[in-house]
Copies of this chain bind each other. A is one copy, B any other.
Amino acid sequence: MTAKQENGNGTTEKVLRVGLLGFGTVGSSFAEVLSASGAQDVRITHIFNRDVARKRSHARARFVPAEAVWTERVEDVLEAADVDVVVELMGGLDPIEGWLRSALNAGKHVVTANKQLIAYRGAALFELVASKGVQLLYGAAVAGGVPVIPGMSQGLSGDQITRISGIVNGTCNFILSSMEAGADYSEVLKTAQRLGYAEADPSADVDGFDARAKLCILARIALRAEINPEDVPAQSISQISAVDFAYAKELGCTVRQVSRAQIDGDRISARVGPMLVPKNSPIAWSHGTQNMVVTSGRFGGDVVFSGHGAGGHPTAVAVMSDVRAVAEDSHAVRLPAKKVEVSGGVIAPHYLRFVVADRPGIVAAIAGALAKFGVNIDSILQHRGFGGDRLPFVVTTEPSNSATLDKAIAEIGTMDFMLEAPLCLQILVVDDPDTD
């Protein structure tokens, strides 16, 4: 696939020719990281982007070899005989999928940071890749510069991972860790938008759709389970308020958007949403936009990967590492996955926060509804300092099935004293046993 090139010493050396789709933050950072690496065996030969004239004046365009072809026609890259690997850094499903299928069909390798594509169309693409004998690498699709995909693929292939828990959306982690430090949700969301961490429409981040796609990618590698992202319940972080951090603190916890999938025989549970995280759990360590993934293996116990999950340079490191793997024909270990239905319900302790108009009998009514569904109460917490006309209080449950709990909550939500929809969050439990 790669071209042989005369080098200065009169000998020839393989060069991997890169066709780059997208010269935005990540694409231009990739050009810089490649240039800085001094690698003689990888070279950008083509760049596709809209408005090439503007892109060529980008400060990082100086990292692109002068002889590279800049084009606004994607076919110029996909059909080029002198492109060995297409590096796609644009994102989205369509038309990208069609473009990358053309490239793969033409025998080109593909490196991509496209989480939606791998989460939603990965299974079919992997089949195509296997039939063509090329590589499709996507280490940058989850957790940017944190090498969790290569680390799991190569370093944990010998274990049986039963659970994966991650902080894979830096925007939510920035928002929630700022709220932990006292910031208000809407204020910190505005800050995140100003800093470029959050989109004008923040839904993909705060409502968990971005994290859900990433969780499905990780589940395929870690749990060998092909899950449909649409089947994973996603709960928004937008309901979380200062009072939840106060109660969480009382419980020795904080609140983070956690993406979690667990396999138990043929049954898989998966969920994305704000959860109570014990302060002594690694998940509570990450702050700001950091990402973290914790795998729990049958034999190896818990393994933590953490670092910068986003940003041009960290993401470009992941892309560059994949390109190096292609250049050296270093294929990953095969991790065959099978299609699994998400069964939803999780057995876990839960945090229930109610906002009520205070009057006698409220606790009895709520406790009664929970008892009816077989949910045991672990504790009832009520902070002072709130007026009775709008009283937030918290019930924690003993380990309960979340699906059952949902039914109880639905019933409680209709009670006449309830001023807001009840908030129900899973409480994570630290349980990595010592392994021997």
Contact = CB atoms under 8 A, between A and B. Distances in A.
A158 B307 contact: no
Nearest to A149: B155
Given A36-B298, A282-B306, A307-B301, A158 B323 contact: yes
Interface string A87-110: 000000000000000000000000
Question: Looking at chain A, what size class is its interface with the partner chain?
Answer: 35 or more
| Residue of A29, A159, A285 with highest tally of chain B CB at under 10 A | A159
Contacts of A36: 160, 298-299
B156 A435 contact: no
Contacts of A150: 150-151, 154-155
A324 B333 contact: yes
| Residue of A321, A329, A435 with highest tally of chain B CB at under 10 A | A435
A334 B323 contact: no
A202 interface: no
B299 A314 contact: yes
B331 A314 contact: no
Given A300-B314, A303-B306, A333 B323 contact: no
Interface stretch (A6-14, A139-147, A256-264): A139-147
Contacts of A37: 158, 160
A320 interface: yes
Interface of A: 25, 29, 32-33, 36-37, 139, 145-160, 282, 285, 288-289, 297-308, 311-314, 316-325, 328-334, 434-436
